[in-house]
Structure 1
Amino acid sequence: MNWQAKRSRMMWCGVLPRLWAAALMGTVAGTAAAAQVSIQASFAPSALEPTRNAFTNDTPNGGLCTRLGLCSPDEKSVQLPFYVSYGAFSPSADLSNQAFFRVPSAWRKVQLVHAATGRTAETEWRVSFFGSTYRLPRSVHDITGHPNVSQGHHNLWQGYAWNYAPPGCGSMNYAEVSAFILRYGWRFPESSPTCTKRTNFAFEAGMLLTDVSIGYVMRSPNPLAMESGEYTGQLHLRLGQGGDFDFGNNARPSDSELIINFTLTVSHEFQVTFTEANPKVSLAPVGGWSQWTVHGKAPPRLQQELPFLLTSSNEFSVKMRCEHDVSGRCGIANVATRDVVPIDVDVTMPGMRAMHSGGFAQNTPLVSERSGQVAPRFTPNSYLQNRHSRLRFAASGPAVAEMLKAPQSRWQGDVTVVFDSEP
C-alpha cells in the first residue's frame, strides 16, 4: 500500500537587491539659496565576509580627508559649495566681533524611504571636523608686524595661529600657509559644538572662508532588515546666525541652507535551490511499513523531509498555496473518493530567526495563503550562503487513521511553498 503526497512546485520570490548606504558627493547649488551635497552608500553581501552587516560609504572624499593621515577609518569628508565672509574684527570680548563657529557635531537622525515600497529606515550622521581656507585682507600685513609668514598669523590671533584650534575644539595638526592664506582643520567633539577664534587686532576689511569642507561619520541601519532597492532621505541644515552651522553675528554665508541628500542602496542575494525542479514527496512511516504490513500496527505518523539550499541576506516570509485547503492547512485527497485529510508542513532554516518570536527557524509550521493567518517571516543572523535547510511534510493522528480505512488507496495533492521577500 502506498500513499503519496505530491509537491509540484517550489517557488521563491526574492527581490534581487540593490541596497543601500550613503555616499557624500559634492554637488553645487549655484546661486540658489540652498547648497547641496550627496552621500551615497551601499550594501551587498559577501561570501568572504558573511558576518559583515554594514553599509559601505561609496562617497568620494573631498576636502581634508584627501590629505593623507588626517582622517580616521570611519570618517569621510566632503567639500561644501558655499563660502563665508566676515565683517570688521575687533579685539573686544564680544563674540559678535569674533570668528565664532558652531557645527552640528551631535548625532542627527535621517529618515530614509524605499523608493518603490515606501518602507522606511533610519541613519544617523554628525560632523566630526570643520576645515577651510581663511583669506586675510592685505591690510593685515601692516598691523601684525610679522617678521615671517608663520609669526604673522601667530601675532594676529589669540592662542597662536588659526591652525591651532581654540578651546572646545581639537587641532588636526595641519596647515598650509602663506602670508595672507592659511588652510586648516579643527575637530569638533560630539559634546562640544562651538569654539571661537579671537583677534589681537582690529581690522575693518574682515576675512573670507573658502574651500569649506566637513568631516562626518555615519551610523547606518541594519541592511539585513531592509529590502533590496534604493532608500533616499534629506537632512536640511540652516546656515547663519542661530543655525545649525553658525559662524557668528559677524559672518555672512553665501547660502542660507545646506541640504544633504542621502541615497542608500541595498542589493541582497536570495535563492532557494532544490535538487529537482518539481520535487515529489512520498509520505511513509519512519522506519518503513513493516510494522503495519507484518504486525498490523498503525503508524502514528507519515512523513518525509525535503532538503534545499538557502542563500539569503534579507528577511522573507514562507507561505503555502494549496490544491486542497483544510482549516488553514494543505491537504491530500483520495484519488478515488476525493476525501481530503490535512497534512502539516514545517520549515527549518539554520541561521534564520522568526521575526515575531525571535526564536530559531526550526520546525516552524507553515500556513495556507487562504487561511487569513499571517505567514511566518524570518530574518538572517548574517549572510547565509547555500545553507542546508529542509521542509517537512507529515500526516498524523486522525489523518493517518482516515487513510488506513481505505487500503490500497492513493492520496495526493499539490503544495506550492512560496518564499517571499516582499513585506
Structure 2
Amino acid sequence: MAALAGTAVAAEVQIQASFAPSALDPTRNEFTNDTPNGGLCVRPNLCGPGEKSVLLPITVRYAEMRPFAGADHEARISVPSTWRRVVLTHADSGRTAETEWRVSFLGATYYLTRDARETTGNDNVSQAHHQLWQGNGWSEPPPGCGRMNYAEAGGTSWRFGWRYPEAATTCVKRPRHLIDDGMQLREVSLGYTMRSPNPLAMEAGIYTGQLQLRVGPGGDFDFGTNTVASDNELIVHFTLTVTHAFQVTFPQAGPKVSLAPAGGWSQWTRHGTPPARLQQELPFLLTTSNEFSVKMRCQHDSGGRCGIANASTGAVVPIDVDVTMPGMRDMRSGAFAQNTPLVSERSGQVAPRFTPQSYLQNRQARLRFAANGPAMTEMLKAPASRWQGDVTVVFDSEP
C-alpha cells in the first residue's frame, strides 16, 4: 500500500441565518438560513425542507485498494450525523445561545486514474462503475446509509450522494477489482440541518460561534485508514443575526392619570361611604418580538413603590402600579403578564422581565394605578386635598 502524508491545515465554511419578525406570519419564531446553497442542494428535488448543503474545499486521496483485503483497502466513510451543540455569543453583550447542527448527507465525485471500463472490461460506463465495487457500485448506498437517487458517471469518475440518518454507522464500500493507483474524492458536498434557538428569547444583534471538526482516520469525518485529506480539520463558522421590533404607544404623549373610585365620588360625598380603592387604567399598544423588563422611576419613592405627595403638607403615600400585557409571560415565574406589580428601580428589587409567546403587533395592553388600604385612608383624612407625583414607566429591551 502506498504511503500517504498530509499537512495540518483547516478548511472553513460559513453558515448565516437571520430572524426578523413578520406581520404576515406572527407565530413564526424560527431563523431563516441565508447561506447560499453549494453542492447537491443546487440540484432540484434532492434536498428536503430545512436542508441545505455547502461545498467543502477538501480533497481526499485513497492509496491502493485491493479486493477482499480488509479495512486498509476500503472506503469507510463516517460523518458527524449526530446533533452537535454550538455556543453562540452576542458580539456586544456577551450573552449566549445555543444552536444544534448535524450532517444529513455527503456527496462527492470519486476520480480514478484508469477508466473504469478498462479495469472491468465493460464498455458501458455506468455498468463498469457498478462492477468495480461490491454491492452494485456507489449508486446503491451501503447498509446504514440512505439513497439520494442521484448519480452521474464518467469514464474515470462517479458522482454520488449518500444520506446519513441520525447517528448513522460508518458506511463502507469495498472494491471488486484492483485499483492500484487509488482514487480521489473531490467536490465534496455536505448536507446539513440546524435546530436554531428561539429568537424571541434572544437580544437583537449578531451572534457568532464555531464548530471544530477533525478530518481523518478516527476523526469526525473519517474516510478510511488508507486516506489522506487535503485538510485535517473543518471549522464551521456560524453567524446568526437577530432583528427585533419593539414599540410602546400611548394614546397621547405625557398621559395623565387621575385616581378615582369606580363609579365616581358620589358614595363618599353624599353618604360618607369610603371607596374600596382609588384607581385608573392607562391603555397602550404593544409591538414586540423580544423580551423586555418594565420598571418605574419615581418622583416620590415610598417603600419600594412610587408615591404621590399632598400638595399642601408634603405627606407621601404609596400607590400600586401593575401591568397587563396579553401574549407576554413573566420570565421568572412563567405566569401570564396579568396585573403584574411593578417596582421602583431604586427599591433594590429585580424588575419583572417578560417574553412574548409570538410576535405581537399593536397588542392592546394596560397599566393600572391604584391607591389601596392605608394609602387611601390617609388621603381621605384630608378632604379636598390634592395629591400628585410623576411616575415614569420604563420598558427596557436591554438585558
Question: TM-score, normalization: structure 1?
Answer: 0.91
Contact 1:104 1:193 in 2 (8 A): no
The reply to whether residue 310 of structure 1 matches residue 292 of structure 2 is no
Residues 71-113 of structure 1, C-alpha deviations (whole Å, 9 max, x = no match): 0012100000111111100112411211110100011011111
Name the counterpart of 2:326: 350
Partner residue of 1:103?
A: 79
Q: Is this contact kept in 1: 2:115–2:155, CA < 8 A?
A: no
Render the CA deviation track for 1:226-279: whole Å, top value 9, x for unaligned.
Answer: 111111100000000110000011111100100000011111111100011100
* 1:162-177 matches, cutoff 5 A: 162-177=138-153
1:251 equivalent in structure 2: 227
1:208 aligns with 2:184: yes
Contact 1:171 1:186 in 2 (8 A): yes
What letter matches 2:214 in structure 1? R
State the alpha-carbon separation in 2 of the partners of residues 282 and 43 from structure 1. Answer: 42
2:307 and 2:316 in contact (8 A); partners too: yes
What's the counterpart of residue 337 of structure 2? 361
Q: Distance in 2 between matches of 1:165 and 1:209?
A: 16
User: Deviations along 1:340-378, whole A, 9 cap, x unmatched?
Assistant: 000000000001111111111000000000111111111
CA distance in 1, matches of 2:169, 2:361: 45
Tell me, in whole angstroms, the C-alpha distance in 2 between the residues paired with 1:143 and 1:133: 18
Q: Find 2:380's aligned residue among 394, 397, 404.
A: 404
What is the CA-CA distance between 1:296 and the residue it aligns to? 1.6
- Where structure 2 has 5 or more consecutive residues not aligned to the other structure, the ranges are 1-6
Structure 2 CA distance for aligned equivalents of residues 383 and 310 of structure 1: 10
Aligned twin of 1:152: 128
Amino acid at match of 1:227: E
Q: Higher relative contact order at CA 8 Å, sep ≥6: structure 1 or structure 2?
A: 1
Partner amino acid for 1:261? H
Counterpart position of 2:12 = 36
Paired with 1:400 and 1:174, the residues of 2 have a C-alpha distance of 79
* Partner secondary structure for residue 377 of structure 2: helix
Look up the match of 2:3: none
**2-structure distance, mates of 1:361, 1:48:** 25
Deviation at 1:139, TM superposition (A): 5.9
- Look up the match of 1:376: 352
Aligned to 1:14: none
Q: Which amino acid aligns with 2:132?
A: L
1:151 positional shift: 1.5
Distance in structure 2 (CA, Å) of the matches to 1:93 and 1:363 = 75
Distance in 1 (CA, whole Å) between partners of 2:60 and 2:18 is 33
CA positional deviation for 1:416: 0.5
Counterpart position of 1:51: 27
Q: What is the aligned partner in structure 2 of residue 18 from structure 1?
A: none
Aligned length: 393
Aligned to 1:374, what secondary structure does the other structure show?
coil
Give the Cα separation in 1 of the matches to 2:64 and 2:22.
56
Identity of aligned residues (%): 70
Query: How do residues 151-300 of structure 1 correspond to structure 2 at under 5 angstroms?
Result: 151-300=127-276
Q: Which amino acid aligns with 1:215?
A: G
- 1:343 and 1:359 map into 2 onto residues whose CA distance is 23
What is the match of residue 332 of structure 1? 308
Deviations 1:277-318 (A, max 9, x none): 100001111000101111122212110000000001111110
Task: Decide which moves more: 141-150 or 235-244.
Answer: 141-150
1:136 aligns with 2:112: yes
Q: Which residue of 1 aligns with 2:59?
A: 83
Matches of 2:398 and 2:354, distance apart in 1: 12
CA contact (8 A) 2:117 2:124 kept: no
User: Structure 1 CA distance, aligned partners of 2:342 and 2:115?
Assistant: 81
Contact 2:116–2:129 (8 Å) recurs in 1: no
Q: Is the 8 A contact 1:130 1:215 kept in 2?
A: yes
Opposite residue 301 of structure 2, the aligned amino acid is: D
Asked whether the equivalents of residues 140 and 203 of structure 1 are also in contact (C-alpha less than 8 Å), the reply is: no
1:65 aligns with 2:25: no
Q: CA RMSD in A?
A: 1.1
Q: Distance in 1 between matches of 2:194 and 2:157?
A: 32
Q: Which moved more, 1:365-374 or 1:290-299?
A: 290-299
Deviations 1:30-55 (A, max 9, x none): x9811000111111111111111111
Q: Which moved more, 1:290-299 or 1:338-347?
A: 290-299
